[in-house]
Amino acid sequence: MKTESKKEYDLIVIGAGSGGLAAAQRAAEHKQRVAIIEMGQLGGTCVNRGCIPKKIYWYAAEFAYDLKHSNTLGFETNDFKHNWQTLQQASKQYIKKLNDMYRKNLSQKNIEIITGNASFQSSKEISVGGVLLTAKQIIIACGATPVVPDIPGAEFGITSDDFFELKNKPNKTIIVGSGYVAVELAGILNALGSDTKIVARKNSILRKFDQSIQSSVIDYLVESGVEVSLNTDVLSVKENNNQLLVQTNNKDHTSVDALLWAIGRKPLVSDLGLERTQVTKDKNNFILVDQYQTTKDPNICAIGDVVGNHELTPVAIAAGRALSDRLFGGKENERLEYENIPTVIFAHPPVGTVGMNEKEARATHGNKVKIYEANFVSLRHSLIGVSSKAMVKLVCLGKEEIVIGCHIVGQGADELLQGFAVAIKMGAQKKDLDNTIAIHPTLAEELVTLR
C-alpha cells in the first residue's frame, strides 16, 4: 500500500461517538498519545441524530400534550400553533454547541482528530486517506446504523437518521417497527399533530421489555390517537404525487406523507478491513468481545453499539472509560458489569426499567419469584380525562425479597428510575422500600407502598 506518511500513537480510537470519546479522553488523562478517527460529526449517533435531538423533540411533544389538555386547569389555548422548522433550528443549534464543545475538549487534551474512513492494514496499522497510523492498542467504536428492509420501494422510506432532517412535519406517517425508536418517534409525531400509525410484525411492541410495560404503552398510544397495527408486514412501497402508497399483508393500501423504518440497527463494520485482523463477528456482524471488551485480536478492543450489547449511550461511555483505565490506568481487572442497567423509553408518558422482567425472572428462578404490581389512573390524567393506567412493578427474589427488577410507566418515570436503580444495584430488599416514607402525591410513592 502506498502511503504519504506514517504516524504512531499509544491508542487509536475508531469512531468519535459517546463511547469512543470517553475512551479517548480517559486514555489521554493517563498520559497516552491518542488519535480518534471520525468520518462524520463529533458525538456520533447520540448527539447528532439520536438521544439529544430526540429529547428536544420530546420536550416539544410534552409541551404540546400539556397545552392540549390545559383547558381543564383554566388555560385558554385553543388556537396555539407549532412551527416545526423553529424546533428543528433550536435542536441543530444545540447540537452544534455540543460538537464545538467536544472539539475543544479533545484539543485541550492533545487528542488528534483525524477525519476520514479507517481501514485496518494489520492488527496494529490503520490507513486513513493515504496516511498509515500505528498504535499498540486500537479501540473500535464506530457504532451502528438503521436497517432498511429488502422490499420493493424501501428506498422511499426514511430512518431515524433522516427524521431530524425533515423540513416539515408530515401530516400522515407510518412507522414500521416495534422497539423504543418506533414508540418514541410515534409519540413525538402524534403529539405534534401528525396522523401516526405503528406497524409491527409481531403480536406486540417493546417485546424485550416486561409484559406489563408492553400493555400499558399500547393503551396510552391508542388512547392518544396512535394507531397500532400488530402482526403486519409491509410488502411494498410506491411513490405517487409526493405520497407513498404502503401495501401490507393485511391488504392495506395506505397513502402517507412519510414512512419511517425503525426495524433495528446493524454495526458499521463493512469497510473496516477486519479481514486483515483476527477480529471475529457474530451472525449479525456485531464484533465479538470478551468481558473486558477485547476481541480475538489482543491488540484490538470494541465498545458501544458495534458489539450489540445494551446499545445505550451511558453503557458505551462507561465501557470506554473502564477499558482505558484497564489498558492505561493500571486497573487490570476494570470492566463494565452489564447487569442491572437502567433504561428509559421516552414515550408519553415515559417508561423506566431496570433489572429482570417477570418472564426472565421466572425462567431463571422459578417459584422463588414474587411480583408486586399496581395499575392506576394518575392524578394528572384523572384531571384531564385520560383513562389509561400508570403501572409500577417490582420483581423480587427469595424469602429476602431482593428486588431484581423494577418497571414503571408514568409521568416522571424517566427521572425517578435513577434512584431506584442505585438501590437495586446495592441489593435492596422489598422491606427497604417498605420502610421508606412515601412522598405524596407522586408516582414514585407507589413503589414504596406496594402490598
Q: Work out the number of other CB atoms within 10 angstroms of the CB of residue 32.
A: 21
310: nearest Cα among 189, 144, 135: 144
Compute the distance between CA of residue 4 and CA of residue 175 in angstroms, rounded to an integer: 47
The DSSP letter of residue 444 is: G
The predicted-structure confidence for 43-79, as pLDDT tens digits, reads as follows: 999 999 999 999 999 999 999 999 999 999 999 887 7
Q: What domains are there in the chain, each with its CATH number?
A: 5-146+266-328 (3.50.50.60), 154-263 (3.50.50.60), 343-448 (3.30.390.30)
Inter-residue contact 236 to 251 (CB < 8 Å): no
Positions marked catalytic: 440
Distance from C-alpha of 259 to C-alpha of 198, rounded to nearest angstrom: 10
Cα–Cα distance, 44 to 24 (Å, whole number): 14
CA dist 76 and 126 (Å) reads 62
- Degrees to nearest 5, angle at CA 156 with 154 and 157: 75
Nearest-angstrom CA–CA distance, 50 and 163: 10
pLDDT in tens, the chain (451 residues): 454 578 999 999 999 999 999 999 999 999 999 999 999 999 999 999 999 999 999 999 999 999 999 999 999 887 789 999 999 999 999 999 999 999 999 999 999 999 999 999 999 999 999 999 999 999 999 999 999 999 999 999 999 999 999 999 999 999 999 999 999 999 999 999 999 999 999 999 999 999 999 999 999 999 999 999 999 999 999 999 999 999 999 877 789 999 999 999 999 999 999 999 999 999 999 999 999 999 999 999 999 999 999 999 999 999 999 999 999 999 999 999 999 999 999 999 999 999 999 999 999 999 999 999 999 999 999 999 999 999 999 999 999 999 999 999 999 999 999 999 999 999 999 999 999 999 999 999 999 999 9
Cα distance between residue 86 and residue 82, in whole Å? 9
- Let me know: does 110 contact 222? Beta carbons within 8 Å: no
CA–CA separation, 300 and 13 (whole Å): 10
Closest CA to 375 of 213, 221, 183: 213
For residue 131, the tally of other CB atoms under 10 A from its CB is 14
